[in-house]
Amino acid sequence: MKITELPLKGAYTIDLEIQEDNRGFFARYFCKKEFEKKGLCTNWVQINTSFSQKKGTFRGLHYQYPPMAEVKVVRCLRGAIWDVIVDMRANSPTYGEWYGKNLNEENRTMIYVPKGFAHGFQTLTDNVEQLYLHSEFYSPDHEGGLRHDDPALKILCPLPISEISIQDQNHPLLAQLIPIMV
């Protein structure tokens, strides 16, 4: 696997190094040794999936506050998404900056989302399924959200939003939130 740091310190893309033959291919999603070499999380306590039916659906931007702040690894298994992360770490030089990347069933790229980042995505196709690794258990008492359309962030979704939950529409703006201490 190829692990590449993104412009937001601590966030990475993970690309598979595929070994092909006449049967198909083989690749590793995770290698504890390679993650440890980069100082990345290797303890996964939940593996979740999501399915979105309609192209243009937006989910997020979600995170958890300490002590339940979590690392996520996200991969699109079916269809295509535009994945976005926002640095919400209090002392980070990239606080309030975001990064977006297309993830799909063809490129098989994953995003490593560190603690202190909000995460969301927009579906680029119908019938999208994703896989998430989480370093902490879901905790409703520690969940947080950030508005995707915050004018201060200037996040540019690739498509008009066709579906979004009431909860995600009503998340606060970045200026209304306390930065995350991780």
Which sequence positions are flagged as catalytic? 62, 132
Distant-in-sequence, close-in-space partners of 146: CB < 8 Å, separation ≥ 6: 60, 61, 63, 86, 88, 118, 153, 171, 172, 173, 174, 177
Examine residue 172 and say whether the peptide bond preceding it is cis (omega within 30 degrees of 0).
Answer: no
Distant-in-sequence, close-in-space partners of 65: CB < 8 Å, separation ≥ 6: 142, 143, 144, 180
Phi and psi at residue 33, to the nearest 5° = -60, -45
- In this structure, are residues 92 and 9 in contact, taking their beta carbons and an 8 Å threshold? yes
